[in-house]
């Protein structure tokens, strides 16, 4: 039972490049979300999904796309990387939205040069 | 005003000390409250939920004060292994996008 997995762990991109951060869970949770964590700021919600086929924007969605074709996977796509997207990205899952414990993946450290 | 505010610290305390963190939140309709622990370069993990009546888990006690809109975390008999960043998290029930995280309070327990 792996819980929540994220790949890659580290990534360096050049400005303008695109990439996909992978997130997978084997907990059969409906709710999945992507956060970014920057120094001096709390985790901020990028996008979330309440179930397969349903996604919505969070607080800071610009520059990111998501899709949810299965319960298990919730990839985050950076369309054209910018230095402002340098951050640590966490995927999280929970039984429900908000009231329940959030289970986080180990994170992806992204640097955009 | 931030939705959730915490003193970032750092708090440097000797082993065995008692330390308390506070966190304030902006939305009086908030329903659920949590403390998460985040070790350096790791993901956050749930430490404990905070209930209206207050709750205790071993050396950790969490309190909620709805009138003043703050929650607290008390750690007694601090251990070296308690060194981490403690995140205050509030569910504000403004739709599915309803979890707000504080910036965290960093604790270092010194031998």
Tens of pLDDT, residues A55-109: 999 999 999 999 999 999 999 999 999 999 999 999 999 987 767 889 999 999 9
- Judge whether residue A1 has pLDDT over 80: no
d(CA A111, CA A109) in angstroms, rounded, equals 7
Query: How far is the C-alpha of B110 from the C-alpha of B96, rounded, in Å?
Result: 40
The least confident of A12-21, A81-90, A97-106, B5-14 is A97-106
What's the pLDDT at B93?
Answer: 66
B43 and A CB contact within 8 Å: yes
**For an interface test with A, which of B2, B43, B48, B103 has the most A Cβ atoms less than 10 Å from its Cβ?**
B43
Is pLDDT above 70 for A42? Answer: yes
Whether B97 shows a pLDDT value over 70: the answer reads: no
Q: Is A101 on the interface with B (CB under 8 A)?
A: yes
User: Starting at the edge strand that comes first in sequence, how are the strands of the sheet with B55-57 ordered?
Assistant: B4-6, B19-25, B70-75, B60-65, B55-57
Percentage of residues in chain B with pLDDT exceeding 70? Answer: 95
Residue of A45, A101, A107 with shortest CB distance to B97: A45
CB nearest A41 (choices: B44, B99, B103): B103
Choose among B42, B46, B101: nearest Cβ to A43: B101
Tokens of B64: 């909620």
B96 pLDDT band (50/70/90 cuts)? Answer: low
What is the mean pLDDT of the segment spanning B41-67?
94
The answer to whether residues B28 and B43 touch, using CB atoms and an 8 Å cutoff, is no
Residue B85 is predicted with a pLDDT of 97
Instruction: Identify whether the C-beta of residue A11 lies closer than 8 Å to the C-beta of residue A108.
Output: yes
pLDDT score for A45: 93
Other C-beta atoms closer than 10 Å to the C-beta of A102 total 26
Nearest-angstrom CA–CA distance, B10 and A17: 37
Nearest CA in chain A to B48: A101
Gap between the Cα atoms of A87 and A39, Å rounded: 9
Q: Are B23 and B88 spatial neighbours (Cβ–Cβ below 8 Å)?
A: yes
Task: State how beta strands A87-94 and A108-112 pair.
Answer: antiparallel
């Amino acid at each position: 039972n792996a819980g929540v997995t994220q790949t890659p762990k580290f990534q360096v991109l050049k400005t303008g490049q695109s990439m996909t951060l992978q997130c997978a869970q084997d907990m059969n949770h409906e709710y999945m979300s992507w956060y970014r964590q920057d120094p001096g700021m709390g985790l901020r919600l990028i996008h979330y999904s309440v179930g397969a086929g349903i996604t919505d924007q969070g607080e800071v969605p610009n520059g990111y796309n998501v899709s949810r074709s299965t319960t298990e996977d919730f990839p985050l796509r950076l369309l054209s990387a910018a230095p402002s997207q340098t951050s640590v990205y966490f995927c999280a899952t929970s039984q429900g939205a908000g009231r329940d414990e959030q289970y986080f993946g180990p994170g992806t450290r992204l640097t955009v040069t | 005003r931030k939705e959730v505010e915490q003193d970032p610290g750092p708090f440097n305390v000797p082993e065995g000390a008692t330390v308390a963190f506070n966190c304030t939140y902006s939305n009086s309709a908030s329903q659920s409250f949590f403390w998460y622990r985040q070790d350096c370069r790791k993901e956050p993990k749930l430490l404990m939920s905070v209930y209206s009546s207050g709750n205790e888990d071993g050396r950790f006690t969490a309190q909620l004060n709805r009138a003043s809109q703050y929650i607290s975390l008390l750690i007694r008999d601090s251990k070296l292994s308690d060194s981490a960043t403690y995140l205050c998290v509030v569910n504000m029930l403004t739709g599915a996008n309803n979890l707000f995280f504080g910036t965290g309070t960093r604790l270092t327990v010194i031998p």
